[in-house]
Structure 1
């Protein structure tokens, strides 16, 4: 996702610095005109004044600092973190990619710990602890209880909702032939591959939207600056 982030950053820099470095003199000239300016030009002049005002940056910095403080305070509560994570996992594109990444992380840790000789329940506890997902750690508590009650590992992991049907079928097949450790390794590889595919799909969906957004920004700037200029030249 480096390319979409780069395009967004470039577009943000264009919006911020174009009024100051490129169109500063032209915008000042347009502001002094007594004629009625088009709405895009008025909006761009207002944005230009905002960008060139030091007070705007102070307000922005204070707002960002407040958001960071509130976010840190909010996310210190494990229940709140799990709620925020649950919302993020429902997002199209991003949610499936994160689920696949988390499941790959957990199954990889589970394969290593169980393959090294730890009992299955201990390996499950360890893999849950190394996960960065608060929501998964909470759901794994129910999985541990199910495993203790005699459920299979595939059935216990199914309860979390993080593991894909394909990966669970791989594990179920491994359980039936007594090859759990190789099945867990295959699960981890399958989840990692699913993560890669999900990220590629999300990037393919984002690229046309980004191009549309950049085109709209450039078109808006062009209309805001050229329309009154052409009108002024025609009036000479």
Structure 2
């Protein structure tokens, strides 16, 4: 679990750094550079182009209210973290993890990996099936999936097969359910679950790599567009003044 978590964090570190760096650069330009240019333009008394007025207005807003915005952001993070610690908040956060675009697909694969790999290891070591489900439920660390695992465990307790119970719980892909059914039929459920875990570990590595390679150019393009628009907004009145002087 820790090795996999380390791989995901390492893969996403660079995109996160790019986003942080872009925000810092834009805020520095808006709060420290644009106000000086604003004063210079206002002293000239000329009508400014719309893009320049928009950038100047946004810069003035940030320069004036940044302490309030920072305090509001800190308060928002504080209350959000408190809400997530409540049962309702945790469930909402866990639902979001499963459904958010792109990252949700990655997280669902992580859930399948944790469930199958750990259940396979427990069964291979002759741990009782009900006890194994109870342990795996805690390893998955998602209240929505925990409820579904409980539902599957109840059906197994009533006499259903593992594959049937998991089919009705509806949190594993059909292909995985089919492989589990094949493992049950051949009395090799523990080995099959561990094989599924290895497949998903490889798939998760590939997904993280492809997601990272897709996110990085998007972030760079957005950074370039934002900074480019700011530069254009600043240069427009300077070009106009040069034309007037000529």
TM-score, length basis structure 2: 0.84
2:49 to 27, 38, 42: 38
CA offset digits 1:140-163 (Å, max 9, x no partner) = 110111111222222222334332
How many residues are treated as equivalent by the alignment? 234
Could you say which residue in structure 2 is the equivalent of 1:28?
A: 39
| Mean Cα deviation higher: 193-202 or 114-123 | 193-202
CA–CA separation in structure 1 for the residues paired with 2:201 and 2:24: 34
Unaligned runs of 5+ in 2: 1-11
Is structure 2 residue 22 aligned with structure 1 residue 11?
Answer: yes
| Mean Cα deviation higher: 10-19 or 189-198 | 189-198
1:194 to 187, 203, 210: 203
1:232 to 227, 231, 241: 241
Q: CA deviation at 1:89?
A: 1.8
1:209 to 209, 218, 223: 218
CA–CA separation in structure 2 for the residues paired with 1:32 and 1:151: 81
Could you say which residue in structure 2 is the equivalent of 1:126?
A: 135
CA–CA separation in structure 1 for the residues paired with 2:164 and 2:242: 75
CA–CA separation in structure 1 for the residues paired with 2:66 and 2:121: 50
Task: Give the aligned CA root-mean-square deviation in angstroms.
Answer: 2.2
Is structure 2 residue 127 aligned with structure 1 residue 109?
Answer: no
1:167 to 173, 176, 183: 176
CA–CA separation in structure 1 for the residues paired with 2:42 and 2:16: 34
Evaluate the alpha carbon distance shift between residue 61 and residue 218 of structure 1 in structure 2; reply closer, same or farther with a 3 A threshold. closer
Could you say which residue in structure 2 is the equivalent of 1:184?
A: 193
CA contact (8 A) 1:93 1:201 kept: no
CA–CA separation in structure 2 for the residues paired with 1:155 and 1:170: 12
Matches within 5 A, 1:135-174: 135-174=144-183
CA contact (8 A) 1:93 1:198 kept: no
CA contact (8 A) 2:124 2:190 kept: yes
